[in-house]
Amino acid sequence: MDLLDILLSASFWAAAIRIASPLIFATLGELICERAGVLNLGIEGIMVAGAFAGWIAVWAGLPLWGGVAVAMLTGMMLGLVHSILSVPFGLSQHVVGIGLTLLATSLTFYTYRVVLPEVSSPPKITAFQPYEIPLLADLPLVGPALFSQTPLTYAGFILAALTALVLYRTPLGLAVRAAGENPSAVAAQGLSVTAIRMGAVIVGSGFMAVGGAFLTLSAFDSFFFDMVNGRGWICIALVVFGAWRPGKAVLGAILFAAFDALQIRLQQTGIGAVVPYQVFLMLPYFLSILALVVMSRRAEVPAALMVPFNKGER
């Protein structure tokens, strides 16, 4: 009974969408990288850096959208580092990615200490406020859940649609997908696999950083050291769950977020009194793994994912 009440409440779905938003940005970013053939494990660190960069920029006086732009640029710079090492140099994408995560995370903490040497608790900013879309927000259930979010959430959904459009409807998107499937086919057309892959990693990393910035600029109004908390790794799984398709990946993000929102609410019900709360905390991850197993059976991995391309090699 309790469960049904929760599932039918608008506030539950509003929370799910809110929790999903940073995942949507970062998952799209990862998806773009992987579609071009590069696994970007720098995602966790890039999200941390994005969260900090966006927040500190707004704290320093930039408008909120300026903070988003700063976060995106930060992510793109980190993406540039990743892409130089992983694409033209062809280094192991695992090592480059994990190294970048460590680098970006520690660099962020270092910068934090340099900029704010003497604060005990981080300063707050005025975050994005919910914006009710006229008419649509008045719809029952869907209105409050979908159309009373912050502008950055709307941007996430628009970005998802744009990503799908570019990937499937433009020559650029086709080239990106082909670079992840068979880079030789791209090279045979006289296109530069290196440029396409580097571009995808740089842009994708920018999206990841905006995902991080969502946490400081929309979900909360301040920066904490462990706020990203493994969301980047979840996004890696969501890309697989979404079978490398933007639409499915967004659905996956919402599903995961719904589990997360559900477990918080379940803790407050009658079951919560009996079952230890750690079980509930585990729930979204457990269900995600389950869904991943079921969904990714038939998924088509980009054939050249994690395969460096060296022109002219046998």
Positions in the binding site for another protein (CB under 8 A):
169-172, 174-175, 177-178, 181-182, 184-191, 300, 302-303, 311-312, 314
> Cβ closer to another protein: 42 or 183?
183
> Cβ closer to another protein: 182 or 205?
182
From the number of C-beta atoms within 10 Å of its C-beta (0-12, 13-18, 19+), residue 128 rates as buried
Which amino acid, 132?
Answer: E
> Cβ closer to another protein: 140 or 312?
312
Q: How far is the CB of 158 from another protein (least distance, A)?
A: 17
Residue located via tokens 């589990």: 259
Separation of alpha carbons 26 and 249, rounded Å: 11
Return the SS3 of 170: coil
> What DSSP designation does 138 have?
G
> Cβ closer to another protein: 264 or 304?
304
Q: How far is the CB of 82 from another protein (least distance, A)?
A: 21
Q: How far is the CB of 245 from another protein (least distance, A)?
A: 12
Q: How far is the CB of 76 from another protein (least distance, A)?
A: 18
CB 235 within 8 A of CB 30: yes
CB 150 within 8 A of CB 247: no
Q: How far is the CB of 193 from another protein (least distance, A)?
A: 11
Structure tokens at 199: 């571009």
Nearest Cα to Cα of residue 43 among 29, 54, 56: 29
> Cβ closer to another protein: 135 or 188?
188
